[in-house]
Amino acid sequence: MTTHDLPLGRHVAYPSGYDASLLYPIARTLGRAALGIAADDALPFIGMDRWHAYELSWLDLRGKPVVATMTLSVPADTPNLVESKSLKLYFNSFNASRFADVAAVRARIADDLSRAAGGAVTVADGVPAAADDRDAVLLDGLDIAIDHYGPPDAGLLHGDDDDIADETLRSDLLKSNCPVTGQPDWASVRIAYRGPRIDRAGLLRYLVSFRDHAEFHEQCVERIFVDLLARCRPQALSVEARYTRRGGLDINPWRATPGCTPPMPARDPRQ
């Protein structure tokens, strides 16, 4: 058997020069329609999609390679999300292209992504430090049986109106699949809320019910937010998922009720 016969990823012809046309925007309305959010509806959440880029390189004006990391922030109210593989290919198009300095690269990325997303994308140098999740209760040690792995079942979510809580819950067991490639997407999810106490066993079963589900990262987080808001009726709700890195990129969607403070930029230990 030769390597050509193996069921491995096929060869991809990477671009030989900078090419913004590689970015592939996808209308957010496609995923939101499945959640009952019409194109002309006011969004029930605020938020952003924060990307960490670890494998970014270009040539300086004398042809010497430069390497860097960057953090990209895409507002949740932009019309489009950007498909992750297209973003990887786009970043690879910088590898053999010359730029005056890091500021020129940063400005070019911000301009290109803003056009693709349909709104202002911010780009900053570097990636954040490791997260400190000591304030969050980890659900993964719950002694429960689980036998449902998809589709996501909002019926598993329950809130106790007689017991009002203000807490942060966390799980490392969120896993879904990419709807384009079928590859697994792994994440840690952090849910902060104030309102009827959420049944922890039901919440963990609900998060695990994404395991065989195919949906983009951003759409999964919006589904979790919408289902929790409808089923558990919190007065305040924040949902952040930190997905593990693939192809030098990780994505961290955050959605929250208006008025919530954005979480501090942070990287999960698995990122």
CA distance 82 to 3: 32
Long-range pairs, 59-67, Cβ under 8 A, ≥24 = 59/95, 59/96, 59/97, 59/98, 59/99, 60/98, 60/99, 60/100, 60/101, 61/98, 61/99, 61/100, 63/98, 66/102
pLDDT grade, residue 84 (50/70/90)?
A: very high
- pLDDT the model gives residue 134: 87
pLDDT digits (tens, 9 = 90+) for 162-172: 999 999 999 99
Confidence of residue 16 (pLDDT cuts 50, 70, 90): confident
Whole-prediction pTM:
0.93
**Is 222 annotated as contributing to ligand binding?**
no
Q: Is 260 a catalytic residue?
A: no
Q: Is 246 annotated as a binding residue?
A: yes
Catalytic: which of 172, 185, 227, 250? 185
Does the annotation mark 40 as catalytic?
A: no
pLDDT at 11: 61
Q: Which of 19, 77, 178, 212 is catalytic?
A: 178
State residue 3's pLDDT score.
46
Percentage with pLDDT > 90 across the chain: 87
Is 55 known as a binding-site position? no
Condensed to tens digits (0 to 9), the pLDDT of residues 174-186 reads 999 999 888 999 9
The predicted model gives 22-30 an average pLDDT of 96
What percentage of the chain exceeds 70 in pLDDT? 95
82 in a labelled binding site: yes
